[in-house]
Structure 1
Amino acid sequence: MIDFRYHLVSIVAIFLALTVGLVLGTTMLQDPLLNTLKSETSDLREQSDQLRSDKDVADKLNAGGGELISAYADAMLADLLDDVDVVVLESPGVDTATRDELVARIEQAGGNVPGQVVFTDKYVDPGQATFVDELTEQLAEGMRLPKGGAHEKAGAELARAVLRPEDDARGGGDDDAADGSDDEAGEEFDADAVLAGFTEAGLLTVQGRVAERADIAVVLAPARPFTAENAPSPKDAENPPGNDVMLALTRALDDASDGAVLVGGTGSTDPGGLVAQARAEEAAFSTVDSAGSTSGNVVAVLVIADARATRSGAYGIGDGVDGFLPDPLPEPVEKKDADNGNRQQQDVQASASTS
């Protein structure tokens, strides 16, 4: 019969064996394990130092490139946007310093920025779609709105409100031009009233005088992708609803003018980024993903000038770009006109010589 003493001895023997095993194991494995850990730590430290050194070199090269671009920016941008009015429309979360630097470069190229339209979080909130739809229909006053969702309609109406009517862009025309400057009831479209309506509804704010002033529009992407607060599901986190709203606006601006440009920083190509989604959808308008740096802001102006010439593309450093900057570079309007005149004169002279 097995008594309590037997159980006690067995338990003591088991714990003694475990203790001896732990002591032997740690003694035998201690040196090899420590040596391995020390070697891996040393390798990681060397890699970290090398990466830090590479980053310092890249930062210095970028800083030098920025200084070089600044030194030649006047020559690169001269007259590219001479007498062109550019309206800037800002997504919620735009970096104001990037906006101000881009505006300064546009003006350096001879362009004029009559003002900005700054959208609020309420405008990109999918829960406000019904409200946006009802407001757009109310402010349209007989305007033929496109088919689609609330923000497609709102985008078309806002594009009409900020862009110069076609007859004005051509330098005149009949008062009752058939370009849609009057609504179906024959009443004049009131751009100021439309902007005021969206403003009073808390959907946007207007800085400056933008009503029917712009030849071309620039839409600024947020500094970081729209947050998960606007993305209730994993699918929405990849393509936040706010992206669909701002892309609908950009498409409407592009359709209503010679072209529109979507400009963002490097974060705009991160997962869920506005520029990333525009490129994934193969948008017809131009995109830039390098704003915020000296070279990136200059590139953005080159792309705006290219869009004025009805050319589009994807530019910057992200996936799927056509290049860092347009190729060939856009020419100043005056030089382009002069070249056309010279070619015409040469054609006349050649024709006269042959006759």
Structure 2
Amino acid sequence: MIDFRYHLVSIIAVFLSLALGLVVGASALRGPLVDQLKETSNRLKNNNETLRRQKDAAGQVNTYNDQVINAAAGQMVAGRLKDESVVFVEAPGADDQMRAQTADMVSKAGARISGYVTLQSKYLDPNQQATLSELTDRLKPAGLTFSADATSAERTASELAWVLVTKQAARSGQEDLAAGQVLPGFKAAGFLTYSGQPATRATLAIVIAPAAASSDKNADADNKALGALPKALSTYGEGAVVAGDADSATDGGLIKALRDDDVKGHVATVDTADSPAGRLTAVLALAAAKQGKAGDYGIGSKVDGALPTPVPTPTPTMTKKK
């Protein structure tokens, strides 16, 4: 808000200065009007300087807050995802830095990261949906069944989720032989890329939303297709969180679409993951989702609060008897 007011006052001051120059150049208008314009111009300059100082001070406070949270994050999240494994899925247009920083926070919480899957723009291309649907049916593992009324996007999401996550801790870390060709098949067709070992089934998942809300005519269809994946990951795994920035919680954003779709209690969302506090919240949201308490957190519309309440407790560390 300070930043906006600072720029607005600056623009007004520029136009007043131009007006003052024009008036000074017109000898017929010299006098009280010129004095009034000079007084107004000086007042705006003083206001502008005050707002600039406030803006700089707010920036310093925000930097300080981030430094404190980053320094304390390890202790704050320690043990909250102990013995869990997490797979990351990036939507087309997601922020790689957000994913990397969130993954670092997840690691500090004690979780193993199985791998990273990055969806390509081709995944949402309307002209490629028939090909994607055919590929989904062709690669479908024998043990997977689709709901009779599932859309093409939901079938693809279910297939990917079935490969990436599991509710059974004993199966986590192991790749299902029947699903061995799913990820390579989608990768070869140009629909996604991956690194690590994402097919070794994690128990939890984090989906990184696109960095900018879409104003494209296909925004609704794209968000429905993307939204099907965290829903499927939550169904086949122990919990899923969609992480993004404030823009992702506005019209055209994935988080806004999920919240409007009323998936509360099914998929957790965090719209501040571009900040250390938001990434800390993402870890807490994932721990809460594992306990069946998925909510919406951040600063956008329809949030349940800044973070889960009560805050999930760390997994107890078992000690051996002497």
For normalisation by structure 1, the TM-score amounts to: 0.73
Which residue is 1:327 aligned to?
309
Kindly report which structure 2 residues correspond to 1:190-269, keeping only aligned pairs within 5 A, or say none: 190-226=178-214, 228=215, 231-232=216-217, 236=218, 239-269=219-249
Q: Distance in 2 between matches of 1:111 and 1:200?
A: 29
Letter in 1 for 2:95: D
C-alpha spacing 1:270/1:36, structure 2 compared with 1 (3 Å): farther
Which residue is 1:84 aligned to?
84
Residue 31 of structure 1 and its aligned partner are, at CA, apart by: 6.0
Q: How big is each residue's C-alpha offset from its partner over 1:18-59, in whole Å with a ceiling of 9 and x where there is no partner?
A: xxxxxxxx7666767656655554454444333332222222
Q: Distance in 2 between matches of 1:81 and 1:106?
A: 8
Query: Which region of structure 1 is more displaced relative to structure 2, 189-198 or 76-85?
Result: 189-198
Which residue is 1:145 aligned to?
146
SS at match of 2:205: strand
Which residue is 1:17 aligned to?
none
Report if the CA contact (8 A) 1:162-1:191 is conserved.
no
* Superposition misfits of 4+ residues, deviation over 4 angstroms: 26-44
Letter in 2 for 1:262: V
Q: Distance in 2 between matches of 1:92 and 1:281?
A: 21
Q: Distance in 2 between matches of 1:29 and 1:321?
A: 56
Which residue is 1:348 aligned to?
none
SS at match of 1:333: coil
Which residue is 1:270 aligned to?
250
Which residue is 2:297 aligned to?
315
Q: How big is each residue's C-alpha offset from its partner over 1:185-209, in whole Å with a ceiling of 9 and x where there is no partner?
A: xxx8722211111111100011111
Over the matched positions of the two proteins, sequence identity in percent amounts to 35
Q: How big is each residue's C-alpha offset from its partner over 1:164-221, in whole Å with a ceiling of 9 and x where there is no partner?
A: 3x4x42x37xxxxxxxx9xxxxxx8722211111111100011111114210111001
Report if the CA contact (8 A) 1:107-1:113 is conserved.
yes
Q: Distance in 2 between matches of 1:40 and 1:241?
A: 52
Kindly report which structure 2 residues correspond to 1:271-350, keeping only aligned pairs within 5 A, or say none: 271-284=251-264, 285-334=267-316
How many residues are paired up?
A: 287
Letter in 2 for 1:311: K
SS at match of 1:218: strand
Which residue is 2:11 aligned to?
none
Q: Distance in 1 between matches of 2:160 and 2:57?
A: 46
C-alpha spacing 1:51/1:242, structure 2 compared with 1 (3 Å): farther
Which residue is 2:10 aligned to?
none
Q: Distance in 2 between matches of 1:98 and 1:139?
A: 31
C-alpha spacing 1:279/1:53, structure 2 compared with 1 (3 Å): farther
Q: How big is each residue's C-alpha offset from its partner over 1:69-112, in whole Å with a ceiling of 9 and x where there is no partner?
A: 22322221111111100000001122222211111111111001
C-alpha spacing 1:297/1:30, structure 2 compared with 1 (3 Å): same
Query: Which region of structure 1 is more displaced relative to structure 2, 214-223 or 188-197?
Result: 188-197
SS at match of 2:193: strand
Report if the CA contact (8 A) 1:191-1:212 is conserved.
no
Report if the CA contact (8 A) 2:141-2:179 is conserved.
no
Report if the CA contact (8 A) 1:155-1:249 is conserved.
yes
Query: Which region of structure 1 is more displaced relative to structure 2, 104-113 or 292-301?
Result: 292-301
Q: Distance in 2 between matches of 1:282 and 1:55?
A: 37
Report if the CA contact (8 A) 1:115-1:208 is conserved.
yes
Q: Distance in 1 between matches of 2:315 and 2:277?
A: 22
Instruction: Say which one has the larger Rg.
Output: 1
Report if the CA contact (8 A) 1:126-1:242 is conserved.
no
Q: Distance in 2 between matches of 1:65 and 1:245?
A: 36
Residue 162 of structure 1 and its aligned partner are, at CA, apart by: 0.5
Residue 257 of structure 1 and its aligned partner are, at CA, apart by: 2.1
Q: Distance in 2 between matches of 1:40 and 1:194?
A: 68
Structure 1: where are the runs of 5+ without partners? 1-25, 173-180, 182-187, 339-355
Q: Distance in 1 between matches of 2:80 and 2:68?
A: 19
SS at match of 1:135: helix
Query: Which region of structure 1 is more displaced relative to structure 2, 103-112 or 131-140?
Result: 131-140
C-alpha spacing 1:91/1:39, structure 2 compared with 1 (3 Å): farther
C-alpha spacing 1:201/1:325, structure 2 compared with 1 (3 Å): same
Q: Distance in 1 between matches of 2:32 and 2:250?
A: 43
Report if the CA contact (8 A) 2:141-2:178 is conserved.
no
Query: Does 1:160 find its partner at 2:162?
Result: yes
SS at match of 2:180: helix
C-alpha spacing 1:218/1:53, structure 2 compared with 1 (3 Å): same
C-alpha spacing 1:123/1:33, structure 2 compared with 1 (3 Å): farther
